[in-house]
Copies of this chain bind each other. A is one copy, B any other.
Amino acid sequence: MLPAGEATDATIRSLTEILSRGDLIVDGANSDFRNTLRNAALLQDTGIRFADVGVSGGIWGATEGYGLLVGGDPLDMDSIRPLCATLSRPGGFAHVGPVGSGHFAKMVHNGVEYAVMQAYAEGYELLAASDLSVDISAAVSVFATACSIRAWLLDHLARALAQNPKLEGVKGWVGDSGMGRWTIEEAVRLSVPIPAITAGLYARFTSRQEDSPAMRSIAALRQEVGGHKAKR
């Protein structure tokens, strides 16, 4: 993840002391769009222009081109168009709305990515759990090459499985960068039901628990009620 949060705020604060009216700050960090809106409000009185760019592509973007989601004044989009064209690919960048909407769209993108990864993961586990001796690597490779769900991420999953078909030495522990949390907070604020994205984040939470407190309470309850002996 690109540095964001306090690092971004501090940089913007120090830039305001150097820059002049009409200069343009472009925030290309993985910022919380709500913070971007706050920074935009702070800059408004200074006359310093401000655009936010949601950047997708991670370590692969350097060779494959980044996806760039630009929020800000259309005139500012014009100013950074050459820069975007250099960093991206044809059709790989666009002005997506006023300031804040670049980081908002990137947040939504990453929220969707949580659910998409979860979808693949559930498919993987089904293939692995089946008593049909499915050749998982072969199946996922066909999924990624020629089926309706073919996708850049699935291509990478197929590659990971080709190299390590049993995922030996890989623990089911998955971190999260915060963007999925912001997505849920915003969905809750906007009254938008997002069960698949939420499932993706909750599964990551669970993956990081040694033992589930929730399930411990059910085990205790069932022991109390039904004589189901809880495991120790």
Contact = CB atoms under 8 A, between A and B. Distances in A.
Interface of A: 33, 56-60, 64-69, 71, 88-98, 100-101, 104-105, 108-109, 111-113, 115-130, 132-135, 138-139, 141-143, 145-154, 156-157, 159-161, 164, 167, 169-175, 181, 183-208, 211-228, 230-232
A173 to B, nearest CB: 4
A230 to B, nearest CB: 5
Contact of A117 (B88, B96, B218): B218
B56 A146 contact: yes
B225 A96 contact: no
Given A101-B132, A126-B183, A151-B153, 15 more contacts: A56-B146, A67-B143, A67-B147, A91-B142, A115-B119, A122-B187, A124-B214, A126-B192, A129-B192, A157-B221, A167-B220, A170-B223, A171-B211, A172-B211, A192-B205
Contact of A148 (B95, B98, B225): B225
Nearest to A212: B172
Contacts of A133: 97-98, 101
7 contacts: A60-B225, A88-B146, A101-B133, A125-B192, A172-B214, A172-B219, A193-B206
Given A89-B145, A149-B109, A217-B167, A122 B115 contact: yes
Contacts of A120: 112, 217-218, 221
A35 to B, nearest CB: 14
Nearest to A232: B169
A181 B191 CA distance: 9
Given A122-B194, A188-B181, A128 B202 contact: no
Contact of A97 (B135, B143, B148): B135
Contacts of A199: 195-196, 199
Contact of A91 (B141, B181, B220): B141
Contacts of A96: 134-135, 138-139, 142
Contacts of A68: 142, 146
B118 A196 contact: yes
